[in-house]
Amino acid sequence: MTSIDSTTPPLAPWWRRNGLKLALVASLAVNLIFIGGGIARFVTHGPPERMSGVSQMQLIPRKFLGDLDRTRRAELMKVFRDFAPAFRDGRKAAREDVASLAAALDAEPYDALKVKAAVESFSARSAALTGDGGKAALTLIEKLTPEERKLLAHHIRMRDDGGRKKESRDGGD
Range of the domain at 74: 54-160
- Answer whether residue 170 is part of any domain: no
Q: What is the pLDDT of residues 107-128, one digit of tens each?
A: 899 889 999 999 999 999 888 8
pLDDT at 84 over 70: yes
- The number of distinct structural domains making up the chain is 2
Q: Provide the pLDDT for residue 8.
A: 66
- Answer whether residue 147 is part of any domain: yes
113 Cα distance to chain centroid: 38
Residues 6+ apart with CB under 8 A from 140: 57, 60, 76, 79, 80
72: helix, strand or coil: helix
Distance CA 113, CA 149 (A): 47
Q: Which range (19-23, 101-105, 152-156) has the least confidence?
A: 19-23
Do 58 and 85 fall within a single domain? yes
What pTM was computed for the model? Answer: 0.55
Positive or negative: CA dihedral 123, 124, 127, 132: negative
